[in-house]
Amino acid sequence: MTASLAGIVNHQVRLAARPVGLPRATDWQFTEAPVAEPGEGGVLVGVRALSLDPAMRGWMNEGKSYIPPVGIGEVMRAGGVGVVLASRHPGFAPGDHVSGGPGVQEFWSLSAEEVKRSGLAKIDLRLGSLTQWLNVLGMPGMTGYFGLLDVGQPKAGETVVVSGAAGAVGQTVGQLARIKGCRVVGIAGGAAKCDWVVGELGFDACIDYKQAARVGVEKWDAVREGLRQHCPAGVDIYFDNVGGEILDSVLARINRRARIVICGAISQYNNTSAVQGPKNYLALLVNRARMEGMVVFDYAARYPQAIAEMAAYLADGRMKSREDVAPGGVAAFPATLNKLFSGENFGKLVLKISDA
């Protein structure tokens, strides 16, 4: 191994400035570093693929949140999967496939201490492919699993609406809700995504929020009309990944004792003015309903059980997944990340770093 690392360069992407609105090229800095052999108890990982997530936009902002912001000049935080290239840790051997938080770089070098607190974990490719370990078996899958089941508490026969339906979290939420016997209505941008979640994933219906612009009706009327049409018995659970007008449109249709799971608000993440608060929030009062936030890390102790359940669904065909694997390596990170905010990705967005 030692010989092979000589002269190898680790390409990295660092946060250069806190973005105002949509991240721009000048918010990023490309750096290079040598790749070193791991020290005693350490591990060196070759990164294969990175998870690109809406939450990344929040990590770039100053201020108190559920985790500290990425510091200026630091390698951008990112989840990823890779292969162990060298190890002086008894739990990891070269060739092991692993997942964790390598950040946006090609090589991830962990000290003994970092192995302990980084969440580096071996993954079993018999349960799912590398990219599925970033999707249904990874953070988005865990987010959907615990957000829907623990916070949403679905009961068979209830109507579940999920926005970002073709995205990483949305596809898991919808399929899990179907498995639990719910009626599932997705909201997604574009006919292709809607066709896929209905035709391939078995959602009962999907509302195309971009349709309005095409057919020339008032911007959000297509969503409201879709909800009227596809949720004739109202909405019992809304799993919200987007916020904004769509959240308000769903609030107007909730049932008594409805649960709104607040997972994200991608429509608001690049706002340069204040977040748009849900003006229909008093529907919570009238309907004795609940709006609750969740952060997936709280459920870490239960990931193994959830992964086992999800892997079983993958194996028996009840759960499918779609990853949108973007090429270009770390150099393509800035442009690829922004695809999330325009909704250009179709499925869980993954940045391929290396085959090796």
Binding site for a copy of itself (CB under 8 A): 64-66, 243, 248, 262-265, 268, 274-295, 298
Choice between 293 and 304, CB closer to a copy of itself: 293
Residue 279 Cβ, how far from a copy of itself at the closest point, in Å?
4
Choice between 89 and 224, CB closer to a copy of itself: 224
Would you say 194 and 222 are in contact if contact means Cβ atoms under 8 Å apart? no
Choice between 276 and 354, CB closer to a copy of itself: 276
Residue 221 Cβ, how far from a copy of itself at the closest point, in Å?
16
Q: In the numeric block, which tokens belong to residue 296?
A: 């997936």
Residue 144 Cβ, how far from a copy of itself at the closest point, in Å?
15
Would you say 252 and 223 are in contact if contact means Cβ atoms under 8 Å apart? no
Residue 64 Cβ, how far from a copy of itself at the closest point, in Å?
8
Choice between 80 and 278, CB closer to a copy of itself: 278
Choice between 280 and 354, CB closer to a copy of itself: 280
Quick one: which of 129, 128, 160, 130 has its CA closest to 144? 160
Choice between 280 and 338, CB closer to a copy of itself: 280
Residue 286 Cβ, how far from a copy of itself at the closest point, in Å?
5
Choice between 226 and 264, CB closer to a copy of itself: 264
Residue 19 Cβ, how far from a copy of itself at the closest point, in Å?
17
Residue 189 Cβ, how far from a copy of itself at the closest point, in Å?
21
